[in-house]
Structure formats: structure tokens, C-alpha cells
Amino acid sequence: MKTFGIIEHYNLPISLQNIHKPPKQLWYLGNIDLLNSKQPLLAVVGSRKASWYGQLALKNLLTDSILSQIIVVSGLALGIDSLAHRATLQAKTPTIAVLGSGLADKSIYPATNWSLSEQIIASGGLLLSEYPPDEQARPYFFPQRNRLIAGLAKATLVVEAAQKSGALLTARLALEENREVLAVPGNINQTLSEGCNQLIKIGAAAITRAEDLALELDLELANSYSKTSLSITAAQSALLKLLVRPLSLEELTRLTKQSPTELANCLIDLELAGLIELQDDNLYVACTLK
């Protein structure tokens, strides 16, 4: 017999206390301490019918190095959600699944992911729901569930999303709660890329490699960084975020508003540390994670 824990509204993590319509209570199974982890929580959402492109993108982004520094939050749905949870299991890191149903064995939705839910708990992860354990999934539970996913996380990564999708709704809820939204750009002719491309057009950060995630979440960038004595300053961190794409010295001067001397010193330090490089076309760019 499973014992379900309950978190009353006054004990909710700060991230959920301040969202629009915070839950009155949450039921849980597993490691509740994850809600107060010092590691950043990253919501990972996407299509239930993940394409080969979405699957490959997720594999390239959620590397073991990235997963060792974050807690992935998702919704236990088919497709991208399940793949994100399974990536954490393979990396032997915990994950949080927020359900649109109760947590009892006969309530888990989709039923095909009951085994996955058991693996999440066994690996030190956490299952959450604002519905009583025996409550069956209902269509309107999932939009309500999405606000919790967006609210819990520091940032939401959208891997694939059609124009009308739960993943896109989660991203919009994250924006409303002043959370960061990250999106994987895709083929303009593919329906599952329409939502992500639209998010990028309105200001979401385009994520094309693990390094982009590291920069957005302030994670350790690369092995070369850990071997240097360089202590990254706020100005250097801002530069690294800009240099996810090649930029000229003139463009960097305009974007950073640093003096020429300050900018030059930052660039030299980062180049010596192996974090950026000057290309043959005289454009600076962050080095790719190895």
C-alpha cells in the first residue's frame, strides 16, 4: 500500500506560492526535497508525437553534464515528456513528474507510463499532483497541470510544439509568471516546429546545443572552464550569452555598452580560457562544448 504525502498551501515552495491560482494542496510520492533543491529546475515540454528531429534535439541538449546540474520537470505524457524523464533515469539523476491525474496506480495517466512513474520514484525522483490519488485524468486537468510545471521551473524548454498544443500553453504560462522560455528552432515547413519558431520570434531564447542551455541556466560551460583559474564575472557571463552566435567587435560594443578597454579585457580573458574564439572572418563566438 502506497502512502501519499500532502503539501498544504502554506507549505508550498515559493515558486508555486506566487503563481496565478496556486494549488490549495499537492499530493506527492517520492523525494519531496527536490522542490527545495539548490539546482535549477528546468521544465522540458513538447509534442506527444515527437518526431525524429525532436528526439535527436533532446538527446543532444540533455547531456549527462547538463543533467547532473539541473532537475528536469515534465508531465509524464507520451513523447517529449517521457523522453525527458527517461534521459534523467539514464543519467542517474532525479526528475519531477507533474501529473494531470491522481497518483494511485490505477489513476496514472497515461497508463502505459505507470512503469516509468515507478522508475522515477525508485531513482529518487518525485511525482506531484493537485488531484486526490484516486482521481482519474480529465481533459481540463492538463491545462491546470501545465501551470504547475511552468511555475515550478526557473525556465521552460520547448522542444517541439504545434501552434495549438499543451507545450505551447505551458510556455505562455511560463511567460506570464516571468519565467525564462527557451525553444528549439525547427524546419519552417514542419507543423511541430511552428510553436517553437513563434516563441523565438517573440523573444524566447533559441536553443541549438547543450552550451546554450548551460549559458541560460548559469551552469558550468565546459571541461576547459573547470580547468582554468578564471572566475567568470557578470560582464563576461553576459558576453558568453551573446556569443552563442558569431558577432563582430562593433556589434559587441553596441550590445554590451562596455567601454572599448573593458570589452577588450573581457574578450582576452575568455579567449585565453578557451571559452570563445576569434574566427577567420573576425567574428567572436563561444566555443562548442566537447
pLDDT digits (tens, 9 = 90+) for 126-169: 999 999 999 999 999 999 999 999 999 999 999 999 988 999 99
Give the list of residues 6+ apart from residue 217 with CB closer than 8 angstroms, or none: 40, 42, 69, 70, 154, 155
Cβ neighbours of residue 152 closer than 8 Å, sequence gap 6 or more: 13, 15, 16, 35, 41, 43, 73, 96, 98
What pLDDT was estimated at residue 231? 63
Residue 8 has a pLDDT of 95
> What is the per-residue pLDDT for 228?
43
Q: Is the peptide bond before 110 cis (omega within 30 degrees of 0)?
A: yes
Q: Which domains does the chain have, with CATH numbers?
A: 5-215 (3.40.50.450), 221-286 (1.10.10.10)
Name 277's Cβ contacts closer than 8 Å, sequence gap at least 6.
Answer: 271, 284, 285, 287
Cα separation of 130 and 191, whole Å?
A: 32
Contacts of 234 (CB under 8 A, 6+ apart): none
23 in Cβ contact with 9 (< 8 Å): yes
pLDDT in tens, 113-131: 999 999 999 999 999 999 9
Name the residue with cell 510544439. 161
CA 282/CA 260 separation, integer angstroms: 16
Q: What is the pLDDT of residues 225-249, one digit of tens each?
A: 443 445 678 888 888 889 988 999 8
Low-confidence ranges of the chain (pLDDT < 70): 221-231, 288-290
